[in-house]
Chains A and B, each alone.
Chain A
């Protein structure tokens, strides 16, 4: 079952601009994660934000979480051509007990033009 849905599906920007991607999810969560995937490669973890956090930073990445709206956003500042990749949000399907799966969205394809 799909939990997260990213928006937009595709985004094209110029180098130096900021890129914002959004993720909506359906159930309660313990935390939300963002991953990056270069074309045809394995996913790489970027950042994790817990349900009791509203904002988190890591380098040029800024993640926000609004649990009341069941949504998150990933902001990449001062983008570079090397940021070109697909970006996925992933949530744990939290039912108040043990969670044993991480559910991924369908991803946003980001293209940064040099």
Chain B
């Protein structure tokens, strides 16, 4: 089954404790992206990757890191989480990065709470 898998789905952590949210897709998609969703603000892009070893900042990259060593995986790293990073995070992928002619496939989301 074609899917985007995120882990963990739920996480409560404390300020400053490094964490990684994993994202994996099994559709051989070139493009992957991370979004955060906050009430009243919609979805905002954090980072995206056009292909392996190619990553770039979205609209709200501060406090986050990503890597794309393999085509299928695109982990989101919070080196020193802060309470303002409490949010619902989505990973998404698409067949091609340029000229969005197709859809984005989303994971089920990771709800992160930073105390």
| Residue positions of A touching B, CB distance < 8 A | 1-2, 30-31, 33, 35, 40-45, 48, 88, 90, 92, 98-107
Contacts and interface: CB of A to CB of B under 8 A. Distances in A.
Interface string B4-42: 100000000000000000000000000101010000111
A42 B109 contact: yes
Given A105-B42, A106-B42, A43 B106 contact: yes
13 contacts: A35-B104, A40-B109, A41-B109, A43-B90, A43-B106, A45-B104, A48-B103, A92-B100, A100-B48, A101-B58, A103-B45, A104-B42, A105-B42
Nearest to B56: A100
B112 interface: no
A99 B104 CA distance: 14
Interface in B96-115: 97-109, 111
A2 B109 contact: no
B59 interface: yes
A31 B99 CA distance: 9
Nearest to A106: B42
B88 interface: yes
A40 to B, nearest CB: 7
Contacts of B111: 40
B50 A100 contact: yes
B34 to A, nearest CB: 12
Contacts of B33: 101-102
Nearest to A1: B59
A59 to B, nearest CB: 16
Interface of B: 4, 31, 33, 35, 40-43, 45, 48, 50, 56, 58-59, 88, 90, 92, 97-109, 111
Contacts of A40: 88, 109, 111
Contacts of B41: 106
A79 B92 CA distance: 28
B108 A41 contact: yes
Given A1-B59, A42-B108, A107 B42 contact: yes
A30 B99 contact: yes
